[in-house]
Amino acid sequence: MIYSGPAITVQMLEDGIAEFKFDLENESVNKFNRVTLDDLAAAIHVVKANPQIKGLLVTSAKNFFIVGADITEFGDVFSHGRDYIKNWVMDIHRTFNAFEDLNIPKVVAINGFALGGGLEMCLVNDYRVMSDKAQIGLPELNLGLIPGFGGTVRIARLAGAAKGIEWISTSYPRKAQQALADGVVDEIAPHDELREVALQALKKAIAGEIDWQAKRATKLQPIAMPQGDSKDFFNSVRAELTKKTNPEQYPASKAFLDVIEESADMPRDQAVEVEAKHFADVCVTPQADALIGLFLSDQVIKRIAKKNSADALEVNKAAVLGSGIMGGGIAYQAATKGTPIIMKDIGQDALDLGMAEAEKQLNRQLQRGRITEDKKAATLALITPQLSYDGFDEVDIVIEAVTENSKVKEAVLTEVENEIRDNAILASNTSTISITELAKTLKRPANFVGMHFFNPVPLMPLVEVIRGKESSPTAVSTAVALATKMGKSPIVVEDCPGFLVNRVLFPYFDAFDLLLKEGACIQKIDQVMEDFGWPMGPAYLSDVIGLDTCVHASDVLAEGFPDRMKPSFKGATKVLFEANRLGQKNGKGFYMYEADESGRQRKAFDPEIKELLAEHIDAADGPGSVEFSDDAIRDRLMLTMCNEVARCIDEKIVSSPDEADMALIMGLGFPKFRGGALRYIDQTGLSDYVALCDRYAHLGKAYEAPQILRDMAAKGETFF
């Protein structure tokens, strides 16, 4: 053994070849934490001093090569500020450069995943052999960062500026054939032969049959730019990227391109200094803080879900009551993950609609090359559409997904309970109706739980698992386990009107209605909130949800929380609903809708709105006649939502800030770069946030800062 450390070993093999193996102690995966980075520098020093080594075979003892940097360590590093971060990352550059500059060929065998810093380690090798089952990528933009261990510099030199930009801007991992075609790896090997193929490549490099020095030289020199004026090239690329991602919301999306452009004509050593500067700049942005926080919260909710599924019954077969879009989506999601499911309804037309929904989703996967015709057929075969309760005595869980009406749900749940085994779990896909109340008609309320999927089911990752007063740990665990098996992210919430997501959404809608009553412009409100980062403003979102659905949910919440959710006036949403404007579902709501050539619903301003709302607003000159500042619109809408999230934490409706924020991200489309409602409060500052609440408290209790926030502000506390 030439070198043995806690993360790396170097051992002589044969003919001057040494194996440089990553194997981080006490961890299931390799990652670049402080231990690995220190070990890397020490191992390089030993290799450089050993004249017997003629070449390095770089491998991993884990199932994955290196999954990236240890993100849990970022908080401490980044808290020291921009200059500290730049010096920290320049130390890493010096280590990576020292490895790259070893005057011997280095061949890396890439297995499993090599992501972020893992791929950056691969790039400092002279020749890359990739398993046909491996995936590699640079996902740093998802964290609000740029590749900072030399990845921004090296990939643009290896793959060319255009491909390098594409790899970084899209962030997703590439499979072996794509990586080879783009010039990021040099050879593909069958998974079981990876080490041997890499070893043979190293022997060829030592023998001079592979010009490893020329391959290395490419990374040390300026970028080989596309023909034409480089300024025009970067201006064009920048314009295209800005269409997809707002650089003010995601500054890293601009910073990585700045690095490539500014360092295009520089040698490596100068280029990595440019990268280090921009890396440090984005590390201290609130967007990076929020996005890194979300990544860590995602790990938290996965651990909590695992804990919450400890008492689960095994689900070998499921059933869904009610087909249509929602039932078909649930059936599709279960079947795609291998769970046989019965889809029952009372009418053949509804069953046909449910199967059509499942087939539509599978056809999309087929068109994108993600499944085969055989896989599509096998998945559809797992869904059994039927009008009877045949086979319900064999299912382990039934998910009720009928219309959002308590009387209808009670009747259906009571009926199906008589058709299933005594230990089978019964779940309701209600979005607002109390699980505790629905359970009162059941003989086995302990086996009953809420399981709220979001529409469209295949696209929305969140499932709220609602624990009623009598729901047993087994019922909750089974629902959590099934949601996880279906590829969803379950979050357990306590029973209350609206549960978590709808409970915090409707104060936002109430604030929107109040602004309209005072004469604000619908389109301006939507634009301000979209500029804030929401995928759509409140008027457009109401139309997408359906104004009938909004009115129903609003009534439930008004009854549940009359002190702050029962308006003293008839809001615009109810006025339009009573005029049979239901939103996209009938082509007119706050906007009017027409299908474009692709069949997509396009919204347009409808002048009839002013007439309909005129007598319901305070402004003498009619709707849209009063000018509100962007700040006032944003603050009034966000305060009501954020305050309600804080109340849910205080009341333990949800068990942690991580779960609360992730629920809003996954269930509502809360702007990711803001990190969720509670991170938004943290970043505003608790004292400043409470002062903002006080400024608007005259508008009603929904705007008043909850006591939990006043207490936290007084103690200097934060949620994260």
Catalytic residue positions, numbered: 452
Tokens of 234: 């970067």
Question: Which strand (E) or helix (H) includes residue 481?
Answer: helix 473-485
Report whether the peptide linkage leading into residue 671 is cis, meaning its omega lies within 30 degrees of zero. no
Q: What is the DSSP letter of 393?
A: G
Report whether the peptide linkage leading into residue 139 is cis, meaning its omega lies within 30 degrees of zero. no
- Residue 33: closest CA among 93, 73, 76, 86: 73
Whether the Cβ atoms of residue 475 and residue 447 lie closer than 8 Å to each other: yes
| Distance (Å, whole) CA 317 – CA 314 | 9
Whether the Cβ atoms of residue 604 and residue 645 lie closer than 8 Å to each other: no
| Distance (Å, whole) CA 259 – CA 242 | 16
Q: What are φ and ψ of residue 149, in 5° steps?
A: -105, 35
Any alpha helices (H) in 187-251, and if so which ranges?
194-206, 212-220, 230-244
Amino acid at 213: Q
DSSP helix/strand/coil, 521: coil
Q: What are φ and ψ of residue 56, in 5° steps?
A: -115, 130
User: How far is residue 167 CA from its own chain's centroid?
Assistant: 19
| Distance (Å, whole) CA 228 – CA 523 | 43
Q: Say which residues have a Cβ less than 8 Å from residue 714's Cβ, sequence separation at least 6.
A: none
Q: What are φ and ψ of residue 69, in 5° steps?
A: -75, 160
- Residue 573: closest CA among 535, 620, 540: 540
Tokens of 581: 């404007």
Q: What is the DSSP letter of 394?
A: G
Whether the Cβ atoms of residue 399 and residue 330 lie closer than 8 Å to each other: yes
Burial of 657 (0-12, 13-18, 19+ CB in 10 A): buried
Tokens of 276: 């280090």
- Residue 505: closest CA among 465, 457, 464, 447: 464
Q: What are φ and ψ of residue 470, in 5° steps?
A: -105, 0
User: How far is residue 461 CA from its own chain's centroid?
Assistant: 8
Q: State the Rg of the chain over Cα.
A: 29
For helices 34-48 and 82-100, what crossing angle results, to 10°?
40
Tokens of 42: 């020490």
DSSP helix/strand/coil, 434: coil
DSSP helix/strand/coil, 13: strand
Measured between alpha carbons, how far apart are the two ends of the chain, in Å? 45
Tokens of 535: 């995928």
Q: Which residue has the tokens 């009418």?
A: 347
Whether the Cβ atoms of residue 187 and residue 201 lie closer than 8 Å to each other: yes
| Distance (Å, whole) CA 675 – CA 663 | 11
| Distance (Å, whole) CA 353 – CA 355 | 6
